[in-house]
Amino acid sequence: MSCTEAEKMIVPYINNELSPMELEDFMAHLETCESCREELEIHYMIDVGLKRLDDDDAVYDIVGDLRRKIEDSMRTLRRYFLLQVTRYAVGTLTAMALIVTVLLQLRLWVQSGFLFF
- What residues line the site for Zn ion (CB under 5 A)? 3, 6, 33, 36
Nearest residue (CB) to Zn ion, 27 versus 52: 27
Is the CB of 25 or the CB of 65 nearer to Zn ion?
A: 25
Rounded to a whole number of angstroms, the minimum distance from the CB of residue 5 to Zn ion is 9
Query: How does DSSP assign the chain, residue by residue?
Result: --HHHHHHHHHHHHTT---HHHHHHHHHHHHH-HHHHHHHHHHHHHHHHHHTTTSS-TT--HHHHHHHHHHHHHHHHHHHHHHHHHHHHHHHHHHHHHHHHHHHHHHHHHHTTSS--
CB of 31 to Zn ion, least distance (A): 10
Instruction: Give the nearer residue to Zn ion in terms of CB position, either 33 or 77.
Output: 33
Inter-residue contact 44 to 66 (CB < 8 Å): yes
CB of 6 to Zn ion, least distance (A): 5
From the CB of 65, what's the least distance to Zn ion, in Å?
Answer: 22
Indicate the residue among 3 and 83 with the shorter CB distance to Zn ion: 3
